[in-house]
Amino acid sequence: MKIKPIIWLYITTLILVLVTVFSYFNFPFPVIFYLVVVGQGLLIYTVYRILTDSYTTTKTFDDFYEDHSVE
C-alpha cells in the first residue's frame, strides 16, 4: 500500500509539533535532537513526494472558484 503525500505531511507535522512540546517540558536533549533530525529528513522527503506526485486535475484557472462564479 502506497502512503499518500498528505499522510506524510501529517506525520511530519506531528513530529515537528512533538519537538516543540518536548522542548517545553524539558525532555532529555538526545530525544529532542533525534526528533529534530528525523523531522527535517521527513520534511525534505515530504516535499519531494508532494512535488513528484502524479496528481492531475481537469480544472484550469478559467474555472475560478467553485463556490463563487466569475460572472
Give the C-alpha separation, 27 to 20, whole Å. Answer: 10
What integer pLDDT is reported at residue 70 of this predicted model?
56
Task: Give DSSP secondary structure letters for 1-69.
Answer: -PPPHHHHHHHHHHHHHHHHHHHHTT--HHHHHHHHHHHHHHHHHHHHHHHT-----S--GGG--SSS-
What integer pLDDT is reported at residue 68 of this predicted model?
61
Q: Domain residue spans in the chain?
A: 5-51
The three cell numbers of residue 48 are 519531494
Prediction pTM value: 0.71
Q: pLDDT tens digits for 5-56?
A: 889 899 999 999 999 999 999 999 999 999 999 999 999 999 999 899 887 7
With a cut of 70, say whether residue 69 has pLDDT above it. no
The three cell numbers of residue 57 are 486535475
